[in-house]
């Protein structure tokens, strides 16, 4: 009996130890792999890669194709992971999966990387200002993407920011919008969103609009605006700036009133790639190259009257090359498919992006 109870005690001791270990593990910090961010100065920006919509559980071999093309910069346009949670530990685990991917780490070693978010890495499908964990999510986003401690991003709500590259003759401004933290609720259900014409419905809050106005007044020859949500499209049931026509109009009006030249949009979200152009009265043509996704693929494209050329319904990424050697510098806008084949090719002269 004594032996029996001793064995039993030993058994419970082992069980308790194992349980305590597991508990300690489950309450402990989720560790990320070291992220070898490159911060090499870029004297003249010539090649910008961009993409979006990368599921942390899927292989991201396409990042290797991007690295092979040796861009100066890679811009992540959101849904960089599919967090979809209010539990910050779960979000941390999902960022951890991305951090340990060899193909992601190789990309970080190959090129400078900057990022904004979309709904899934913000924390919730199609969420706007109502998402309750936006402060915690922002903290994790900035930590993961290695935001410098002196960054303006820590000083205001949301994650919008801008970057400048090159001397005055080659200055490129990259504006990354936050279209999640302040966006008003969508009307209707997913795939069937309705136009929201309310005068108090916003894509960005007053501070972000004011910041953007100030940015567009700063000197730059080319201004690439990173927008997780497609900018040029009309309402199509899905998420688009077109669901908030007053806000879309406000953007056109802001470009006009600031006389900001050289504006081109880069967007993500929809799980296919396409190039759109809007020709609005009193404004030069506004191009929007959508590159989505790095792992996510949608085979059915929405109707888009502003589309130029075909869609890419496979894994894809976007690229903008700037030929500064021409007297009238040229932007070569391209969309690449899963095998890094050029499927969308459009040249735009800088003189075509002027008033
Ligand atoms: Fe996505």
State how far the Cα of 100 lies from the Cα of 105, in Å rounded to an integer.
Answer: 7
C-alpha 192 – ligand 1 centre gap (Å)? 17
pLDDT tens-place values along the chain, 355 residues long: 334 444 444 444 444 433 333 333 344 678 999 999 999 999 999 999 999 999 999 999 999 999 999 999 999 999 999 999 999 999 999 999 999 999 999 999 999 999 999 999 999 999 999 999 999 999 999 999 999 999 999 999 999 999 999 999 999 999 999 999 999 999 998 889 999 999 999 999 999 999 999 999 999 999 999 999 999 999 999 999 999 999 999 999 999 999 999 999 999 999 999 999 999 999 999 999 999 999 999 999 999 999 999 999 999 999 999 999 999 999 999 999 999 999 999 999 999 999 9
C-alpha 81 – ligand 1 centre gap (Å)? 9
C-alpha 9 – ligand 1 centre gap (Å)? 53
The DSSP string of 190-222 is TT--B----TT--SS-HHHHHHHHHHHTS--SE
C-alpha 296 – ligand 1 centre gap (Å)? 7
CB 229 within 8 A of CB 239: yes
C-alpha 53 – ligand 1 centre gap (Å)? 4
C-alpha 260 – ligand 1 centre gap (Å)? 30
C-alpha 351 – ligand 1 centre gap (Å)? 34
Token pair, residue 282, equals 């009193």
The neighbour count for residue 17, using CB atoms within 10 Å, is 10
Partners of 320 in the β-ladder: 48, 333
The number of CA neighbours under 13 Å toward the Cβ of 277 is 12
Partners of 172 in the β-ladder: 165, 222
Token pair, residue 192, equals 């069937």
C-alpha 271 – ligand 1 centre gap (Å)? 6
C-alpha 228 – ligand 1 centre gap (Å)? 9
State how far the Cα of 224 lies from the Cα of 264, in Å rounded to an integer.
Answer: 5
First to last CA, the chain: 95
C-alpha 125 – ligand 1 centre gap (Å)? 9
Token pair, residue 338, equals 């899963």
C-alpha 317 – ligand 1 centre gap (Å)? 13
C-alpha 57 – ligand 1 centre gap (Å)? 14
Model-level pTM?
A: 0.92
C-alpha 198 – ligand 1 centre gap (Å)? 26
C-alpha 101 – ligand 1 centre gap (Å)? 19
- By the 10 Å C-beta count (0-12 exposed, 13-18 middle, 19+ buried), 139 is classed as middle
C-alpha 258 – ligand 1 centre gap (Å)? 32
C-alpha 252 – ligand 1 centre gap (Å)? 25
Rg for the chain, CA atoms, rounded: 23
C-alpha 151 – ligand 1 centre gap (Å)? 27
* pLDDT score recorded for residue 28: 64
C-alpha 240 – ligand 1 centre gap (Å)? 13
Question: Which element (helix H / strand E) includes 256?
Answer: helix 245-258
State how far the Cα of 222 lies from the Cα of 322, in Å rounded to an integer.
Answer: 9
User: 276 vs 178, 282, 305, 343, CA distance in Å?
Assistant: 21, 18, 8, 14
Instruction: Domain 35-353: give its CATH architecture.
Output: 4-Layer Sandwich (3.60)
Question: Which element (helix H / strand E) includes 265?
Answer: strand 263-267
State how far the Cα of 62 lies from the Cα of 266, in Å rounded to an integer.
Answer: 18
C-alpha 355 – ligand 1 centre gap (Å)? 34
C-alpha 241 – ligand 1 centre gap (Å)? 16
C-alpha 52 – ligand 1 centre gap (Å)? 7
C-alpha 269 – ligand 1 centre gap (Å)? 5
- By the 10 Å C-beta count (0-12 exposed, 13-18 middle, 19+ buried), 13 is classed as exposed
C-alpha 229 – ligand 1 centre gap (Å)? 10
């Amino acid at each position: 009996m004594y032996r029996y109870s001793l064995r039993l005690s030993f058994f419970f001791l082992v069980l308790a130890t194992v349980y305590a270990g597991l508990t300690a593990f489950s309450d402990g910090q989720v560790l990320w792999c070291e992220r070898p961010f490159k911060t090499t100065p870029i004297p003249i920006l010539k090649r910008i890669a961009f993409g979006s919509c990368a599921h942390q559980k899927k292989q991201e071999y396409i990042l290797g194709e991007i690295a092979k093309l040796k861009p100066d910069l890679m811009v992540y346009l959101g849904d960089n992971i599919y967090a979809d949670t209010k539990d910050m530990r779960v979000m941390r685990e999902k960022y951890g999966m991305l951090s340990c991917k060899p193909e992601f780490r190789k990309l970080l070693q190959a090129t400078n990387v900057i990022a904004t978010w979309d709904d899934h890495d913000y924390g919730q499908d199609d969420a706007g200002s109502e998402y309750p964990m936006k402060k915690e999510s922002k903290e994790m986003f900035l930590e993961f993407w290695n935001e410098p401690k002196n960054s303006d991003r820590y000083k205001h709500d949301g994650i919008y920011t801008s970057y400048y590259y090159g001397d005055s003759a080659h200055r490129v401004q990259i504006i990354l919008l936050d279209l999640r933290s302040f966006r008003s609720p969508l009307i209707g259900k997913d795939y069937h969103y309705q136009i929201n014409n309310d005068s108090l419905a916003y894509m960005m809050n007053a501070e972000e609009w004011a910041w953007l106005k100030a940015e567009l007044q700063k000197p730059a020859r080319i201004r690439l605006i990173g927008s997780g949500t497609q900018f040029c499209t009309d309402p199509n049931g899905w998420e688009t700036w077109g669901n908030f026509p007053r806000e879309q109009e406000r953007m056109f009006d802001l470009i006009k009133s600031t006389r900001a030249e050289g504006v081109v949009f880069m967007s993500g979200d929809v799980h296919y790639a396409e190039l759109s152009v809007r020709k609005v009265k009193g404004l030069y043509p506004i191009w929007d190259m959508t590159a989505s996704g790095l792992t996510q693929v949608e085979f059915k494209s929405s109707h888009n009257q502003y589309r130029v050329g075909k869609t890419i319904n496979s894994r894809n990424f976007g690229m903008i090359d700037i030929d500064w050697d021409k007297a009238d510098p040229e932007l070569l806008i391209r969309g690449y498919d899963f095998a890094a084949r050029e499927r969308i090719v459009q040249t735009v002269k800088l003189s075509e992006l002027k008033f």
